[in-house]
């Protein structure tokens, strides 16, 4: 890096900070925090524990956003001032230190940018994820299992917890279907970028002729609904089927029809759960999944109406990313329009940068 490149980086980061300021609106946040502090002084405020807890959560969220913004803004202003002084005094050692710290400064501003992208009311929620292979039999089912492993490894990297809701193994390899909850701060905010069709191109390990195959798998992501979100589901609108949960066999095989499949007739949405031996618990989990899906669908409709998108284009039917393993190695995202060559690392769960590039491109 030279002085010209560093100067251009400072200009670029200054533009980002200005844009972030427009979104964050620090003056409004400070005003809101002052109002909350005044509310906290009133005796009756703490008598309603549920309301007080919600206000405290909002206060913490606002304080965190404000601190991130102010820390990044201060760090950038300090770097600009130091760079100007070092240039005037010909202090090459300080200039070299600034060059070496450029990546950290850029990362700091990017983290604030991402925090702002994840400020929607649903972003902080847990994510309910379903992976379903497309046509193509064993090949697609194997691709579905690769994606499942990728998300499990990513959740582990992020310090998130994963709870499996439903798992149906493929006949020969891979999976026919899997549903799970990723639990952690901003789990849905990150995972919503994975909603859509994922395409894989590779030499099939299941083809004796070693031909190149293209496989498709859908990933559906919904925010886990809170109890305070009221979603009415009438009995006449659902069909509930019970079936025997699949297992590895032997003494642990399930001998009762404890697995639950719920079909929402008006939308055609189907959810299923076989994680627990209790039919009642499986039904409760399946209903939570259905409510989350319906909530996500409603959010998509509202967004589509706001953006003027035809209803026919709403849903999880869009190809969002291609993973090419043959004849070259590359992951290309259709939203950010960025390509990545570290394919093995990405399939091993190193997808945070990919997701963040999508979030920034869609802001």
254 or 334, higher pLDDT: 334
Above 80 in pLDDT, residue 257? Answer: no
pLDDT above 50 for 36: yes
Of 302 and 183, the structure prediction assigns the larger pLDDT to: 183
Residue 44: the pLDDT is 87
Phi, psi for 264 (deg, rounded to 5) = -90, 105
Angstrom distance (rounded) from CA 147 to CA 219: 9
The continuous run of DSSP H or E covering 243 comes out as strand 238-243
Mean pLDDT for 277-293 is 83
**162: pLDDT strictly greater than 60:** yes
Q: Is the separation of the CB atoms in 179 and 129 below 8 Å? A: yes
Output the pLDDT for position 313. Answer: 39
Say if CB 116 and CB 61 are below 8 A apart: no
CB contact set of 22 (below 8 Å; sequence gap of 6+) = none
What is the enclosing helix (H) or strand (E) of 70?
helix 49-89
Listed range (126-135, 270-279, 310-319) with the worst mean pLDDT: 310-319
Tell me the pLDDT band of 307, cut-offs 50, 70 and 90.
Answer: low
Is the pLDDT at 138 greater than 50? The verdict is: yes
User: Confidence class of residue 309 from pLDDT cuts 50, 70 and 90?
Assistant: low
Quick one: which H or E segment has residue 112?
Answer: helix 102-117
CB 220 within 8 A of CB 294: no
Q: How confident is the model at residue 137 (pLDDT cuts 50, 70, 90)?
A: confident
Distance CA 210, CA 132 (A): 25
Using the predicted structure, report yes or no on whether residue 256 has a pLDDT greater than 60.
no
Q: Which of 334, 323, 328, 333 is nearest to 353 (CA)?
A: 333
How far is the C-alpha of 186 from the C-alpha of 118, rounded, in Å? 7
The pLDDT assigned to 120 comes to 80
Q: Are 221 and 129 in contact (CB under 8 A)?
A: yes
pLDDT tens string 8-27: 999 999 999 998 898 888 99
- Calculate mean pLDDT across residues 300-316: 56
Exposed/middle/buried for 311, CB within 10 Å: 0-12, 13-18, 19+?
exposed
pLDDT at 332 over 60: yes
For residue 229, the model assigns a pLDDT of: 62
How does the average pLDDT of the chain come out, rounded?
86
**pLDDT bucket at 143, cuts 50 / 70 / 90:** very high
Query: Which residues are registered as beta bridge partners of 4?
Result: none
In whole angstroms, what is the distance from residue 234 CA to residue 182 CA?
Answer: 28
Residue 306 is predicted with a pLDDT of 60
Q: How much is the pTM?
A: 0.73
d(CA 200, CA 202): 7
SS3 231: coil
pLDDT band at 4 (very low <50, low <70, confident <90, very high): very high
**pLDDT 10s digits, 54-95:** 888 889 888 988 998 999 999 999 999 999 999 999 999 999
pLDDT at 148: 97
More confident residue, 360 or 133: 133
User: CB of 166 within 8 A of CB of 138?
Assistant: no
pLDDT higher at 214 or 248: 214
* Average pLDDT of the residues in 102-131: 88
Sign for the CA dihedral angle at 44, 48, 51, 54 comes to: positive
User: Per 3-state DSSP, what percentage of the chain is helix, strand, and coil (rounded to 5)?
Assistant: 50, 20, 25
């Amino acid at each position: 890096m030279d002085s010209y490149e560093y100067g251009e980086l400072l200009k670029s980061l200054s533009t980002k900070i200005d844009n972030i300021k427009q979104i964050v609106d620090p003056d409004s946040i400070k005003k809101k925090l002052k109002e909350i502090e005044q509310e906290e002084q009133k005796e009756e405020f703490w008598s309603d524990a549920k309301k007080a807890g919600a206000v405290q959560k909002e206060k913490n969220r606002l304080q965190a956003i404000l601190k991130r913004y102010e820390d990044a803004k201060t760090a950038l202003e300090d770097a600009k001032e130091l760079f100007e002084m070092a240039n005037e005094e010909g202090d090459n050692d300080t200039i070299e230190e600034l060059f070496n710290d450029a990546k950290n400064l850029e990362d700091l501003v990017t983290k604030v940018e991402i925090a702002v992208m994840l400020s929607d009311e649903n972003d902080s929620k847990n994510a309910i994820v379903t992976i379903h292979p497309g046509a193509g039999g064993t090949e697609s089912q194997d691709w579905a299992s690769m994606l499942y492993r990728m998300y499990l490894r990513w959740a582990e990297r992020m310090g998130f917890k994963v709870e499996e809701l439903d798992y149906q193994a493929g006949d020969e390899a891979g999976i026919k279907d899997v549903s799970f909850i990723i639990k952690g701060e901003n789990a849905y905010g990150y995972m919503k970028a994975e909603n859509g069709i994922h395409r894989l191109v590779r030499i099939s390990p299941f083809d004796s002729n070693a031909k190149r195959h293209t496989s498709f798998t859908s990933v559906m992501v919904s925010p886990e609904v809170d109890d305070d979100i009221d979603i009415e589901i009438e009995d006449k609108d659902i069909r509930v089927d019970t079936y025997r949960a699949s297992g590895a066999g032997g003494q642990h095989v399930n001998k009762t029809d404890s697995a639950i499949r719920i079909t929402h007739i008006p939308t055609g949405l189907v959810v299923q759960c076989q994680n627990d031996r209790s039919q009642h618990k499986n039904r409760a989990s399946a209903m939570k999944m259905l409510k989350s899906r319906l909530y996500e669908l409603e959010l998509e409709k509202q967004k589509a109406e706001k953006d003027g998108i035809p209803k026919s284009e709403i849903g999880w039917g869009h190809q969002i990313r291609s993973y090419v393993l043959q004849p070259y190695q590359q992951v290309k995202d259709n939203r950010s329009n960025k390509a990545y060559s570290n394919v093995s690392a990405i399939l091993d769960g190193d997808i945070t940068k990919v997701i963040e590039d999508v979030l920034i491109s869609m802001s």
